[in-house]
């Protein structure tokens, strides 16, 4: 139970950070196939699916609250260490996915899948450096419909390994407004501010419904892909994983976090330690 909550927290934090893929973290934690199966068979195998999904969802919820309130502080104060921690988490998940292709003959199609999805992640990271104008989240019928659609898009990309849902939100101009809305809602709830709570619900509820719809839709698609052509899917994921550290660094540079980091011996050593910790955490949780 506690281990599953911790896995959910890692996935939840990953979904918040631009350039980091929640789907990649699912692979790193060794739960991707099981999670997709439980989502697509939720009503058919309700008891077993809820038993598996509930602690992960709890962990993700805790992580999102922590992220909205404090993760920005870590990136502002120790950006190098924080970025390398997530790079370590991603690299630590590589052995879990590699065993699915090990021993199989490598075909030209596998290499194409690897290169195509490697390029996709790097390309998204580079585009993410040119963030669009922040969106308007004022309460209106049009914005409710837009938030629903944005939720579908964000959740779909959150489930696909290697594709950062938060990076997509960044490109659409909804990342910072959504994070701010979550933070404002949490503060309003803690302060029993009813107008603030209602305003937060008006903004976040359609987004949340869109996320749920998107997760179910993309999970079914991913299940079909893994059933029909698993080796191609795994090689595509390996490409996504290999590109993810580059995406994290590019996102950090684009946000100005890594360019402002002081490269002294202490920072470099602690950053490497953070990467090693992330690596072994991913390895342990993926067992």
Q: What digits encode the pLDDT tens for the residues 60-90? A: 888 877 776 666 677 677 878 888 887 887 7
Q: What pLDDT does residue 132 have? A: 45
Long-range contacts for 177-185 (Cβ within 8 Å, ≥24 apart)?
177/134, 177/135, 177/136, 177/137, 178/137, 178/150, 178/204, 178/207, 179/16, 179/68, 179/72, 181/137, 182/64, 182/65, 182/68, 183/68, 183/69
pTM given for the model: 0.63
Which 8-state DSSP code applies to residue 42? T
Q: What would the mean pLDDT of 226-234 be, rounded to a whole number?
A: 86
Q: What pLDDT does residue 245 have? A: 82
pLDDT for residue 192 is more than 90: no
pLDDT for residue 205 is more than 80: yes
Q: What pLDDT does residue 131 have? A: 47
pLDDT for residue 127 is more than 70: no
Q: What pLDDT does residue 19 have? A: 56
The torsion region of residue 118 among left (phi > 0), alpha (psi -120 to 50) and beta comes to alpha
Q: Which runs of E-coded beta strand occur in 115-269?
A: none
Q: Under a CB-based contact definition with an 8 Å cutoff, are residues 181 and 200 in contact? A: yes
Position with higher pLDDT, 286 vs 150 = 150
- Round the average pLDDT of the chain to a whole number and report it: 79
């Amino acid at each position: 139970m506690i281990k599953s909550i911790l896995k959910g927290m890692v996935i939840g934090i990953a979904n918040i950070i631009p350039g980091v893929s929640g789907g990649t973290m699912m692979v790193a934690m060794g739960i991707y196939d099981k999670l997709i199966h439980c989502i697509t068979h939720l009503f058919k195998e309700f008891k077993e699916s809820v038993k598996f999904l509930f602690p992960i969802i709890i962990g993700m919820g805790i992580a999102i609250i922590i992220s909205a309130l404090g993760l920005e502080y870590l990136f502002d104060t120790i950006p190098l260490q924080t970025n390398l921690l997530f790079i370590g988490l991603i690299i630590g998940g590589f052995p879990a996915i590699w065993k699915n292709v090990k021993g199989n003959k490598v075909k030209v199609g596998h290499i194409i899948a690897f290169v195509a999805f490697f390029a996709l992640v790097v390309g998204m990271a580079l585009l993410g450096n040119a963030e669009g104008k922040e969106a308007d989240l004022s309460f209106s019928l049009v914005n409710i419909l837009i938030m629903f659609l944005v939720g579908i898009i964000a959740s779909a990309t959150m489930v696909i390994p290697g594709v950062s849902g938060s990076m997509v939100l960044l490109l659409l101009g909804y990342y910072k407004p959504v994070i701010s809305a979550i933070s404002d809602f949490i503060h309003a709830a803690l302060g029993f501010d009813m107008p603030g709570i209602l305003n937060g619900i008006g903004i976040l509820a359609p987004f949340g419904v869109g996320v749920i719809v998107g997760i179910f839709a993309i999970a079914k698609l991913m299940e079909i892909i893994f059933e029909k052509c698993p080796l191609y899917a795994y090689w595509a994921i390996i490409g996504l994983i290999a590109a993810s550290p580059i995406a994290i660094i590019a996102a950090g540079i684009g946000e100005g976090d890594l360019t402002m980091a002081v490269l002294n011996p202490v920072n470099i050593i602690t950053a490497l330690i953070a990467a090693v910790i992330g690596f072994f955490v991913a390895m342990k949780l993926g067992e």
